[in-house]
Chains A and B, each alone.
Chain A
């Protein structure tokens, strides 16, 4: 019963936000734009192969062209069309952030809920684990894994997941603890309903809503961290069409070809902004106190 209500409330909130909140609309527009690019990227990019890293045969005549009608975002140091590079990057960006958030969410929920449900040593151990990983920002994690596992997609994903899950674990622990202490959960436990059922039906479902809203905002934050890691050369390989990588490549030419870094950075900003706005608008819709009209009345 209560789970149905939660989900309903979330979908209500989405509907309300869609009607009332400009922020939600802007956020939805931005994120669906990026999603669209991710799907259509190869179709709309003028030079898909250059987007994937191929140096054109005419490289010598094309290097370092500033933005023009022919190349709206200019060309890079090897004469590749930056627009194509950026467009092809959308898919990679979305794959990175959704994988990271989904995996972190899964780990975090399990750890948080278990810690909240079982008290004693399990709680202490899981919370301790959470704290340890919380103390390690993704970037140093990436450094260690880069040395241990080498460069590549797996290093990037592992370092991000390892540093993001504790946030969800912490949040779901707090929510789950309050749910666990509610009467109906206590009653269910007393009535001998198996732990598995209580955990899934009552606890997990009830905390899903706020954690999900947080996850939407985090999609943007993860992109910021991922691109910082890629920018520092700790993550993906240098010919991948990743926005952070392209910006890194352009950084070497920042004074002579600033457009190489400018545009991928802009896309990172817009994408992160899109998800952040979506999350914010939803959160505000779900908090009745913040929905009310307000002015400085005294």
Chain B
């Protein structure tokens, strides 16, 4: 079976003035077709970079090592990147901030037209007809939207339009980069519901990037938790939620307020390492409540802890 996404020892960095800042470090990952997968972590942990790599929109000053396959095609192989025939055809993308991700100079209809013309070679009329279908799928009234500019739409409508645009490509792998972070709470749930529905209807593979594990658990079977560019825990979302293994995962989950739960929210001191800051040992040890001496000297690696879960922590080694 061909995997939707497979990476081996993938590292992605950004060239700065005289150095390279690595945002993703040595990540190996497999995502099955038809599954929903969550990349979780705080901002700056590299999850968006990884998502961009999969969607094929790494900026030009990014540098890569390792291998990344999308639908079996090698898109990153060492320093070579080749997304020919991948973008929009095999993988599509829902942006984080719909306000700035839709061209302000084109009407929504026009944006559909350009996408559909490029991907499927549709003429204007066909493209508009198809656009209507997709807009209805995301529960928008096509007549309200097609002839409008993005700035004339509300945030929620913009995001739905962006989702419709992403879907209209027909690609089966959908990378959603924090699609809800710019929205209000009730809109957030609506969008998540919408994504779940669409995924089920169209049989998509969904990669959901979020800092919110709770939201992820409503959508995704599997999750990976990232910290400082590394995957620190990976496995079944529900199991992770129930019994987080890595101290960092525990911290993430502990920071989620839950209805009816009277426990005080636990917070951990300190901040994640700044980009470019390299540590000898485990990058989390200075914030970790259960660090041991080894943590400061050596980097741990992912080890299986059963149930298909892997954790990168000396506590489990």
- Would A and B touch once assembled, by the CB under 8 A criterion? yes
Q: Mark A105-127, 1 if CB is under 8 A from B, else 0.
A: 00000000000000000000000
A contact residues, total (Cβ < 8 Å):
9
In the complex, whether B17 has a CB less than 8 A from a CB of chain A is yes
Q: What's the Cα separation between A7 and B248 when bound, in Å?
A: 42
B87 touches A292 (CB 8 A): no
Name A277-298 residues within 8 Å CB distance of B. Answer: 291-298
Q: Is B152 an interface residue (CB 8 A)?
A: no
On whether the beta carbons of A295 and B17 are closer than 8 Å, the reply is no
Q: Is the CB of A297 within 8 A of B87?
A: no
User: A293 to B15, Cβ gap below 8 A?
Assistant: yes
A residues near B, CB below 8 A? 16, 291-298
Is B61's CB within 8 Å of the partner chain A? yes
Are B17 and A298 interface neighbours, CB within 8 A?
no
- Shortest beta-carbon distance, B314 to chain A, in Å? 37
CA distance A297 to B61 in the complex (A): 10
Residues in B whose Cβ lies below 8 Å from that of A293? 15, 60-61
> A12 CA to B243 CA in the complex, in Å?
51
A242→B58 CA distance, assembly (Å)? 54
User: What chain A residues lie within 8 Å of B58 (beta carbons)?
Assistant: 297
Complex Cα spacing A77 to B48, Å:
72
Q: What's the least CB distance linking B281 to chain A, in Å?
A: 31
CA distance A240 to B229 in the complex (A): 68
B59 within 8 A of A: yes
Enumerate chain A residues within 8 angstroms of B60, measured Cβ to Cβ. Answer: 292-297
19 interchain pairs, CB-CB under 8 A: A16-B17, A291-B17, A292-B15, A292-B59, A292-B60, A292-B61, A293-B15, A293-B60, A293-B61, A294-B60, A294-B61, A295-B60, A296-B60, A297-B58, A297-B59, A297-B60, A297-B81, A298-B57, A298-B87
B residues 1-35 near A (Cβ < 8 Å) are 15, 17
Contacts of A298 in B (CB 8 A): 57, 87
- Proximity bits, B198-238, A CB within 8 Å = 1, else 0: 00000000000000000000000000000000000000000
Mask of B74-95 contacts with A, CB within 8 angstroms, 1/0: 0000000100000100000000
Overall SS of chain B's interface: loop
Report A-chain residues with C-beta under 8 Å of the C-beta of B17: 16, 291
Interface band, chain B: under 10
Interface 1/0 per residue, B46-70 and A, CB below 8 Å: 0000000000011111000000000
Best-buried of B60, B81, B87 by chain A (most CB within 10 Å): B60
Closest A residue to B16 by CB, please name it.
Answer: A292
Roughly how many angstroms separate A297 CA and B87 CA in the complex, as a whole number?
12
Q: What CA separation (Å) do A149 and B59 show in the bound complex?
A: 59
Q: A19 — nearest CB in chain B belongs to which residue?
A: B18
Nearest B-chain residue to A16, judged by Cβ: B17
Residue of B nearest to A291 (CB): B17
Residues in B neighbouring A296, C-beta threshold 8 A: 60
Residues of B within 8 A of A294 (CB): 60-61
Q: Give Cα distance in the complex from A297 to B64, angstroms.
A: 14
The complex places the Cα of A297 from the Cα of B59 at a distance, in Å, of 7
Bound complex: CA of A295 vs CA of B62, how far in Å? 11
B58 → chain A, closest Cβ, in Å?
Answer: 8
Q: Which 10 A-B pairs have the closest CB atoms?
A: A292-B61, A293-B61, A295-B60, A297-B60, A294-B60, A293-B15, A293-B60, A294-B61, A292-B15, A291-B17
Q: Measured between alpha carbons, how far is A202 from B58 in the docked complex, in Å?
A: 39
With a cutoff of 8 Å between Cβ atoms, the chain B residues found around residue A297 in the complex are 58-60, 81
A263 to chain B, nearest CB (A): 42
Q: Which residues on the A side are within 8 Å of B61 (C-beta)?
A: 292-294
Q: Which A residues touch B87, using CB under 8 A?
A: 298
Complex CA gap A291/B15 in Å reads: 10
Given contact pairs A292-B15, A294-B61, A297-B60, enumerate 4 new A-B contacts (beta carbons under 8 Å).
Answer: A16-B17, A292-B60, A293-B61, A296-B60
Most buried by B among A16, A291, A292, A295: A292
Determine the chain A residues whose CB is within 8 A of the CB of B59 once the complex forms: 292, 297
Give A293's nearest chain B residue, CB to CB: B61
Q: Which residue of A lies closest to B14 (CB)?
A: A292
Q: How far is the CA of A130 from the CA of B17 in the complex (A)?
A: 39
A295–B81 alpha-carbon span in the complex (Å): 13
> With A and B bound together, what is the CA distance between A294 and B58 in angstroms?
11
In the docked arrangement, what's the CA distance between A297 and B86, Å?
13
A54 to B185, CA, bound (A): 85
**Complex contacts, B81 vs chain A, CB 8 Å:** 297
CA separation between A293 and B20, bound complex, in Å? Answer: 12
Residue ID in chain A nearest B56 by CB atoms: A298
Find chain B residues with CB under 8 A from A16 CB: 17
State in angstroms the CA–CA spacing of A294 and B57 once bound together: 13
